[in-house]
C-alpha cells in the first residue's frame, strides 16, 4: 500500500492544485481585480503628495487614523482579556449541552452591528431605564467608550470561541502522562495546552483589531464625526460627497497599514501546534471539577446575564406601555403597516426573505470554498504557513465600502439591476472567507493524512467517508459563521442594495434614520429570534454529524 501511495502522490498533487486555488480565484475576481481596476481608473486624479499636504485633508486623515488605531487597540485588548478566561473554561471542561451554550455565547457575533448598537442604546441610552436610574452608565452608549464597549461585546465571544477550540485540541494523552509523573498545572499550561490557547487568543485579538480598526456602524451611529474611523470617512467621502478619488486614496493608505497586523496574524496562526484525532480530547471526556471549575462557571453566568440584559432590552424597548400598564405592539404593527410599505415601495416580508436568501447562499458558498481549499491543500501537500495563505485574508485589508464600490464599477454595467443580489452575495462571501477559512483549517488539521490516503487505496471517497464525518462539527461551525457574517455585513451591503434587495440590517438602519425607533427595535427583536431558531437547526445538524462519527 505504501508503494502505491508513493506512485499516486505526483498525480494527486497535480489533480488537487485547482480546488486549492478556487478561493484565491474567487477573491481575485470579486475583490482584487475590481480593486486594481478602480485604482487604475482613478490613478490619473490621485495625487498623494498634494492631497496629504493640504491641511484639511492631511488633518482629516491623521484624525481618522488616530481614531481607528485607538478603537482597534482598546477593543482588541479588552476582548482578549475578557474572552481568554472564558475560552479556557470552555476548552478545559465539558458540560451538558455544551455546544448549545457556545452557540448562545457567540450570538452577539452573529448579529448585525446595527442591532447590537441599537441594543446598547436601548440598554444604556439616556431614554433607557438603566440609563435613567444610573446616568453614569450612559457612557456605554455614546462616544469612544460606547464604541469600544460595542466592539468588545461583539468580539470577546469570538476570542473565547477560538481559544476553547485550540485548547480542546491539546494532546490529552501527554497531559495525563505528565499528571501521572507529578507535573504541576502551571507547567502543563506552559508546555501542553496553554500555548495553543494563548496563540488562539492573540489571533482573536488581532481579528478584533482588524474589525474594530475598520469599524463603521458604531462610530457612525454613536460616535459621531469626532470618532469616525478611516472606514467611516471613506463611506462618507464616497457615498455622501461622491469624492471617489479621495475615498480610494484613503483606502489605499488603510490597506498598506493593515498589511502589518494581517501578516502578524498569519505568523501566529502558523505557530499553532497541529494535533491528530488520535490524541485530541475524546467526546465525553470530563476533568475533575474543583475550585477553578466553579469560578469559571460563575464567570460564564455573569457573561450570560450581561448578554441577556443587553439583547433583551431590544425586546423590552420594542414594546410600549399604555397608561394602565397595558402592553402595546405598536412597533410591530408599524413595521408591517402600510406606512412602511408606502415608504419603501416593497412588501414588508421582502427584507426577511432577502436576509435568509443571502445568508444561506453565502454560508454555502464560503464553506464550499473553504472545503475545496483545505482539501486541495492537504492533497497537494502544501505547508500550513505558506505565503499563499495570505491571499485568503485580502478582505481584511481592503475596506468594505471600497470593495462594494470597485465591484459595482467593474461588473455593475454588465449586470442588470435585477441581478444586484449576485454582487451582494459575492461581497458577503468574500467578507466571510477569512474567518471561515480559519475555522475549517483548524478543524481539518486534526485529521491525519494517513486516513485519506488509506481511503484512496481502496477507491473510497476520502472526503465524504473519512474527513467530513471527523470534521462535521467544523463544517457546521463554518456554516454558522458564514450565515452570521452575511447577516451582519452592513457597509458593503448598504452601498449595493436598493429597497428591492434590502436585507434586515439595512432596513433597521433606514428605520433609525427616519426616527422610527420602535419599529427598528421590533425588527431587531425579530432578527434575534430568527437567529436563535437558525442556531437550533444548526445544532441538530451538528448532532447528526456526531452520530456519523
Report the predicted TM-score, pTM, of the whole model to 2 decimal places. 0.78
CA distances from 210 to 115, 263, 391, 398, 431 (A): 20, 12, 16, 11, 12
Would you say residue 129 lies in a domain?
yes
**Total of domains in the chain:** 1
Cβ 313 vs Cβ 465: under 8 Å: no
Assign 408 a pLDDT band (cuts: 50, 70, 90): confident
**Candidate ranges 123-127, 371-375, 498-502; pick with highest mean pLDDT:** 498-502
Which residues, in sequence order, are CB contacts of 354 under 8 Å at separation 6+? Answer: 421, 501, 502, 503, 504
Would you say residue 385 lies in a domain?
yes
Angle at 133 between CA 129 and CA 134, to 5 degrees: 115
Cα distance between residue 549 and residue 542, in whole Å: 11
Mean pLDDT calculated for residue range 155-179: 74
In eight-state DSSP terms, residue 320 is E
Provide the pLDDT for residue 17: 59
Cα distance between residue 533 and residue 545, in whole Å: 19
Assign 215 a pLDDT band (cuts: 50, 70, 90): confident
Question: If DSSP codes are grouped into helix, strand and coil, which group holds residue 461?
Answer: coil
Neighbours of 50 (CB within 10 A): 9
DSSP string, 407-430: HHHHHGGGS-GGGHHHHHHHHHHH
DSSP string, 173-200: HHHHHHHHTT--HHHHIIIIIHHHHHHH
Q: Which cell numbers hold the place of 265? A: 496574524
Q: Reply yes or no on whether the pLDDT at 148 is more than 80.
A: yes
Cβ 384 vs Cβ 445: under 8 Å: yes
Choice between 438 and 68, residue whose per-residue pLDDT is larger: 68
Cα distance between residue 230 and residue 247, in whole Å: 10
Q: How many residues are there in the chain?
A: 549
- Residue 114 burial (C-beta neighbours within 10 Å; 0-12, 13-18, 19+): buried
Question: If DSSP codes are grouped into helix, strand and coil, which group holds residue 327?
Answer: strand
Q: Reply yes or no on whether the pLDDT at 449 is more than 70.
A: no
Q: Which cell numbers hold the place of 525? A: 427583536
Assign 125 a pLDDT band (cuts: 50, 70, 90): confident
Would you say residue 317 lies in a domain?
yes
Closest CA to 12 of 287, 346, 379, 427: 379
Q: Which cell numbers hold the place of 227? A: 470618532
Give the tens place of pLDDT for each residue, 8-27.
444 444 555 566 677 778 88
pLDDT more than 90, % of the chain: 10
Cβ 440 vs Cβ 370: under 8 Å: yes
Cβ 75 vs Cβ 206: under 8 Å: no
Q: Reply yes or no on whether the pLDDT at 110 is more than 50.
A: yes
Assign 114 a pLDDT band (cuts: 50, 70, 90): confident
- Residue 215 burial (C-beta neighbours within 10 Å; 0-12, 13-18, 19+): buried
Provide the pLDDT for residue 167: 78
Mean pLDDT calculated for residue range 173-200: 66
Provide the pLDDT for residue 253: 84
Choice between 261 and 540, residue whose per-residue pLDDT is larger: 261
Q: Which cell numbers hold the place of 159? A: 476570542
Mean pLDDT calculated for residue range 154-164: 87
pLDDT-wise least confident of 39-43, 76-80, 226-230, 392-396: 39-43
pLDDT more than 70, % of the chain: 72
pLDDT-wise least confident of 76-80, 194-198, 446-450: 446-450
Cα distance between residue 237 and residue 247, in whole Å: 6
Cα distance between residue 242 and residue 56, in whole Å: 17
- CATH number of 302's domain: 1.10.3720.10
Would you say residue 10 lies in a domain?
no
Choice between 277 and 233, residue whose per-residue pLDDT is larger: 233
Provide the pLDDT for residue 419: 83
Tell how strand 320-321 and strand 327-328 pair up: antiparallel
Would you say residue 418 lies in a domain?
yes
Q: Which cell numbers hold the place of 60? A: 482629516
Provide the pLDDT for residue 264: 83
In whole numbers, what is the pLDDT of the chain averaged over residues?
76
pLDDT-wise least confident of 58-62, 136-140, 185-189: 185-189
Question: If DSSP codes are grouped into helix, strand and coil, which group holds residue 321?
Answer: strand
Provide the pLDDT for residue 81: 93
Q: Reply yes or no on whether the pLDDT at 3 is more than 60.
A: no
Choice between 325 and 417, residue whose per-residue pLDDT is larger: 417
Cβ 8 vs Cβ 453: under 8 Å: no
Q: State the residue range of the domain holding 542.
A: 23-34+55-548
Question: If DSSP codes are grouped into helix, strand and coil, which group holds residue 328?
Answer: strand
- Which phi and psi (to 5°) does residue 327 adopt? -80, 135
Amino acid at each position: 500500500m505504501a508503494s502505491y501511495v508513493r506512485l499516486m502522490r505526483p498525480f494527486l498533487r497535480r489533480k488537487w492544485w485547482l480546488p486549492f486555488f478556487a478561493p484565491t480565484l474567487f477573491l481575485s475576481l470579486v475583490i482584487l481585480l475590481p480593486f486594481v481596476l478602480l485604482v487604475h481608473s482613478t490613478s490619473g486624479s490621485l495625487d498623494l503628495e498634494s492631497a496629504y499636504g493640504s491641511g484639511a485633508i492631511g488633518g482629516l486623515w491623521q484624525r481618522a487614523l488616530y481614531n481607528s488605531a485607538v478603537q482597534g487597540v482598546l477593543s482588541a485588548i479588552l476582548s482578549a482579556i475578557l474572552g481568554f478566561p472564558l475560552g479556557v473554561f470552555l476548552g478545559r471542561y465539558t458540560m451538558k449541552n455544551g455546544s448549545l451554550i457556545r452557540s448562545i455565547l457567540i450570538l452577539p457575533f452573529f448579529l448585525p452591528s446595527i442591532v447590537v448598537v441599537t441594543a446598547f442604546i436601548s440598554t444604556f441610552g439616556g431614554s433607557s431605564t438603566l440609563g435613567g436610574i444610573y446616568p453614569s452608565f450612559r457612557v456605554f452608549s455614546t462616544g469612544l467608550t460606547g464604541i469600544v464597549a460595542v466592539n468588545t461585546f461583539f468580539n470577546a465571544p469570538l476570542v473565547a470561541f477560538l481559544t476553547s477550540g485550540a485548547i480542546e485540541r491539546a494532546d490529552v494523552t501527554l497531559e495525563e502522562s505528565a499528571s501521572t509523573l507529578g507535573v504541576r498545572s502551571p507547567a502543563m499550561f506552559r508546555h501542553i495546552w496553554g500555548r495553543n490557547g494563548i496563540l488562539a487568543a492573540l489571533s482573536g485579538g488581532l481579528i478584533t483589531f482588524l474589525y474594530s480598526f475598520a469599524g463603521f456602524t458604531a462610530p457612525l451611529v454613536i460616535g459621531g464625526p469626532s470618532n469616525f474611523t478611516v472606514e467611516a470617512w471613506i463611506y462618507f467621502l464616497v457615498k455622501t460627497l461622491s469624492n471617489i478619488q479621495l475615498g480610494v486614496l484613503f483606502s489605499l493608505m488603510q490597506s498598506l497599514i493593515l498589511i502589518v497586523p494581517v501578516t502578524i496574524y498569519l505568523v501566529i496562526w502558523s505557530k499553532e501546534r497541529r494535533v491528530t484525532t488520535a490524541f485530541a480530547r475524546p467526546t465525553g471526556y470530563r476533568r475533575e471539577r474543583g475550585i477553578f471549575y466553579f469560578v469559571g462557571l460563575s464567570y460564564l453566568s455573569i457573561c450570560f446575564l450581561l448578554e441577556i440584559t443587553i439583547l433583551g432590552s431590544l425586546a423590552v424597548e420594542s414594546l410600549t406601555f399604555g397608561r394602565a400598564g397595558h402592553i402595546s405592539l405598536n412597533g410591530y404593527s408599524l413595521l408591517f403597516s402600510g406606512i412602511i410599505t408606502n415608504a419603501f415601495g416593497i412588501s414588508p416580508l421582502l427584507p426577511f426573505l432577502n436576509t435568509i436568501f443571502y445568508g444561506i447562499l453565502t454560508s454555502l458558498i464560503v464553506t464550499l470554498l473553504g472545503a475545496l481549499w483545505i482539501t486541495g491543500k492537504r492533497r497537494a501537500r502544501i505547508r500550513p504557513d505558506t505565503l499563499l495563505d495570505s491571499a485568503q485574508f485580502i478582505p481584511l485589508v481592503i475596506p468594505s465600502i471600497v470593495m462594494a464600490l470597485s465591484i459595482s464599477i467593474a461588473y455593475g454595467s454588465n449586470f442588470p439591476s435585477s441581478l444586484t443580489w449576485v454582487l451582494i452575495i459575492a461581497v458577503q462571501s468574500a467578507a466571510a472567507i477569512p474567518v471561515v477559512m480559519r475555522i475549517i483549517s483548524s478543524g481539518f488539521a486534526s485529521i491525519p493524512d494517513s486516513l485519506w490516503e488509506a481511503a484512496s487505496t481502496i477507491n473510497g471517497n476520502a472526503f465524504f467517508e473519512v474527513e467530513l464525518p471527523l470534521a462535521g462539527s467544523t463544517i457546521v461551525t463554518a456554516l454558522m459563521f458564514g450565515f452570521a457574517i452575511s447577516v451582519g455585513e452592513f457597509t458593503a451591503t448598504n452601498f449595493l442594495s436598493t429597497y428591492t434587495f434590502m436585507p434586515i440590517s439595512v432596513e433597521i438602519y433606514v428605520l433609525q434614520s427616519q426616527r422610527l425607533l420602535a419599529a427598528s427595535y421590533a425588527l431587531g427583536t425579530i432578527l434575534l429570534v430568527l437567529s436563535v431558531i437558525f442556531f437550533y437547526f444548526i445544532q441538530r445538524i451538528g448532532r447528526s454529524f456526531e452520530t456519523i462519527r
